[in-house]
Amino acid sequence: MENSPPYIPYNPALKDRARELRQAMTLAERKLWFEFLRTHSVRWLRQKPLGNYIVDFYCSEKNIVIEIDGDPHFTDAGQEYDAKRTTFLGSYGLSVIRFTNLDVLERFEAICTSIDEACRR
């Protein structure tokens, strides 16, 4: 498939943690999943292990990762970790789109529009 990213290594040690995260999604992740992504026109996976990371939402068809960021992401250490993670994902041709929990909860329609636009590129 022409749009498919190269094979992204899978870390089986993250499988159980990804399952736990799917069962304990934040309010913003739940809203985005159940009210939009689950029935979107392209297939999305939630809490998907990619390499040594677990991304919030992943669409292999469009090579997009969506991250919903809460308070831990706004510390210096959190931003450094996110930058490293974004670089890793980008090296596999994936685009990373970030929203805050507050964005999803207060600007839901705009977030959905932004995701739709990213999927059309």
Mind listing the pLDDT tens digit for each residue in 11-66? 899 999 999 999 999 999 999 999 999 999 999 999 999 999 999 999 999 999 99
12-120 placed in CATH 3.20.20.120: no
Give the chain as a 3 state SS string: CCCCCCCCCECHHHHHHHHHHHHCCCHHHHHHHHHCHHHCCCCCEEEEEEECEEEEEEECCCCEEEEEECHHHHCHHHHHHHHHHHHHHHCCCCEEEEEEHHHHHHCHHHHHHHHHHHHHC
**Model pTM score:** 0.88
